[in-house]
Structure 1
């Protein structure tokens, strides 16, 4: 959100194009790993996102689907008609809509901010936390630390950092 250069603190510009998000916590096993869309939620993993491209769509039209690209505010960078949106569920989970649907859990929150080569944040929260995703030690589900929520001791806090991608980039036909 801020940059410090030559003892001057300045706010970073908002991210305007597509971007990826990376999790940073030197004391966590996932330090430096990307945040990916998979299973209608976001996870910190090195396995890449979960994507789909219909068989009737020419392969050269489908993006590679090897990274999760987002837009500031609430959009995923996808080709699928109608797009896909991301939001924070009432339990704090960072989730996204199914393709061709605007449906999301009642009580979900919108308005995550992204800053160029800076933070990916939701200001009413106390930051981000990741919890082990089942028995898979290489996958951690992403949650916003919303007021009143309590997380297991196995969960780890982290900073989410934005990395811009070229304008017009698409991450996938759709995320699943």
Structure 2
């Protein structure tokens, strides 16, 4: 009897899980910044600490050990579909959103929690011949901006004038074009941290 009840609940639990998980046939892309003559020109976008940065390193984890054949490399940050989710293997996936301070963020593994007042988009990925483009059109934003941090990275925010940025001054931030770099469509990490 217990087995029957458990097996009847499994489809319901699966349906309740976030839908941002990437499958092998989902379009996937990395992001590189474009702003000529600036310190952020051609920097890769990296996921770290539930936020995104230009510069620094991608932070990922695999429960099987990063050197295991069961683990994707986890060295690059890759988005799925329109860019509203990350290219991961972790059950339930990881969603991308803009938090109430304006920072581009992502959900922690095994949780669909997104703070109240956050925006889920729209995020728009447009494929191109060599590079595509990725943007955020919520809150009247004109895409993204990168803001300097104390550790020489640039944290990524929605390009909105009321963002709460690391220096406290939005004028310190640089707007940039987010170039979409196509990938092979396989999950790039087990999960991002």
TM-score, with structure 2 as normaliser: 0.75
Q: Are 2:129 and 1:113 aligned?
A: no
Residues 55-134 of structure 1 aligned to structure 2 (within 5 Å): 55=64, 59-71=68-80, 72-110=82-120, 111-116=122-127, 117-123=131-137, 124-133=140-149
Corresponding position of 2:12: none
CA RMSD across the alignment: 1.9
Residue segments in structure 2 that go unaligned for 5+ positions in a row: 1-25
Q: Note if contact 2:31-2:44 (Cα within 8 Å) is conserved in structure 1.
A: yes
Q: Find the aligned partners of 2:148 and 2:67 in 1 and give their Cα distance.
A: 37
How far is 1:127 from its partner? Answer: 2.1
Task: Figure out how many residues of one structure are paired with residues of the other and give that number.
Answer: 157
- Report Cα offsets for 1:62-110 as digits up to 9, x if no partner: 1111100101141101011111110111211000000000001111111
In our comparison, the structure showing a higher alpha carbon Rg is 2
Corresponding position of 1:161: 179
Q: Note if contact 2:157-2:163 (Cα within 8 Å) is conserved in structure 1.
A: no
How far is 1:57 from its partner? Answer: 8.4
Structure with greater helix share of residues: 2
Residue segments in structure 1 that go unaligned for 5+ positions in a row: 1-15
Q: Are 2:190 and 1:173 aligned?
A: yes
Structure with greater strand share of residues: 1
Q: CA 1:73–1:62 in 2, change beyond 3 Å: closer, same or farther?
A: same
- Report Cα offsets for 1:25-63 as digits up to 9, x if no partner: 113212101101101000001x33100111478810111
Q: Note if contact 2:83-2:134 (Cα within 8 Å) is conserved in structure 1.
A: no
Q: Note if contact 1:126-1:147 (Cα within 8 Å) is conserved in structure 2.
A: no
Q: CA 1:29–1:56 in 2, change beyond 3 Å: closer, same or farther?
A: closer
Residues 30-45 of structure 1 aligned to structure 2 (within 5 Å): 30-45=40-55
TM-score, with structure 1 as normaliser: 0.82
